[in-house]
């Protein structure tokens, strides 16, 4: 495996961990809310994160690497913190949406950083790996904006 491929694989594996974190986090959030529409939205997002992880794993294999298949330590710690915090906030919609938005903030940053790293590795924006990450980044941005809007709506109702 060439060094550039090794570096690209490393970047993609970091995103796989973030995607797995998102999948698990959205599933947990779906369990924490009573609102059926929000529950459905979180489960849909969990599925999309799982699909994103699968796409990234496929790309890692195509580059000759071994794809990551677990969540990150920081994501695990965040979920434990959210669970603890939820015990004290009665798992209300605003509290759950605040934490989901925080998770989306981290995902957005991870994707921005990944695009920057891939650019520095002379990955052309037209390359398959770069195009995949860029497409997923735009999806993360849309989801972040939607979670923020849902949070603002929940705050207005509270």
> What pLDDT does residue 131 have?
93
∠122-123-128 over CA atoms, to 5°?
170
- Per residue in 109-120, pLDDT (tens digit) is 999 999 999 988
Read off the pLDDT of each residue in 28-44 and give the average, rounded to a whole number. 92
Residue 89 pLDDT greater than 60, yes or no:
no
For the ranges 35-44, 82-91, 148-157, which has the lowest average pLDDT? Answer: 82-91
Q: Reply yes or no on whether the pLDDT at 137 is more than 90.
A: yes
Say how far apart CA 100 and CA 93 lie, in whole Å.
10
Arithmetic mean of pLDDT, 140-148 = 95
Cα atoms in the Cβ-side hemisphere of radius 13 Å centred on 134? 12
Cβ of 147: how many Cβ atoms within 10 Å? 23
CA distance linking residue 118 with residue 99, whole number of Å: 29
* pTM summary value: 0.85
Write down the residue that tokens 């491929």 correspond to: 5
Give the span between the Cα atoms of 157 and 84, in whole angstroms. 25
Encoded tokens for 124: 């052309």
Across residues 97-120, what is the average pLDDT?
92
Q: Is the pLDDT of residue 2 over 70?
A: no
Domain ranges in the chain are 3-157
Give the dihedral of Cα atoms 144, 145, 148, 152; nearest 10 deg.
Answer: -170
CATH number assigned to the domain covering 3-157: 1.20.1260.10
């Amino acid at each position: 495996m060439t060094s550039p491929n090794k570096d690209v694989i490393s970047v993609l594996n970091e995103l796989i961990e973030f995607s797995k974190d998102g999948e698990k986090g959205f599933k947990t959030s779906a369990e924490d809310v009573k609102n059926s529409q929000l529950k459905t939205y979180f489960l849909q997002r969990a599925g999309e994160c799982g699909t994103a992880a699968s796409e990234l794993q496929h790309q890692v294999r195509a580059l000759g690497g071994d794809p990551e298949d677990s969540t990150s330590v920081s994501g695990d710690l965040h979920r434990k913190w959210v669970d603890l915090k939820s015990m004290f906030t009665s798992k209300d919609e605003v509290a759950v949406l605040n934490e989901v938005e925080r998770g989306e903030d981290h995902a957005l940053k991870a994707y921005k950083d990944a695009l920057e790293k891939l650019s520095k590795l002379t990955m052309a924006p037209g390359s398959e790996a770069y195009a995949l990450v860029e497409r997923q980044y735009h999806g993360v941005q849309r989801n972040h904006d939607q979670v923020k809007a849902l949070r603002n709506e929940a705050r207005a109702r509270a």
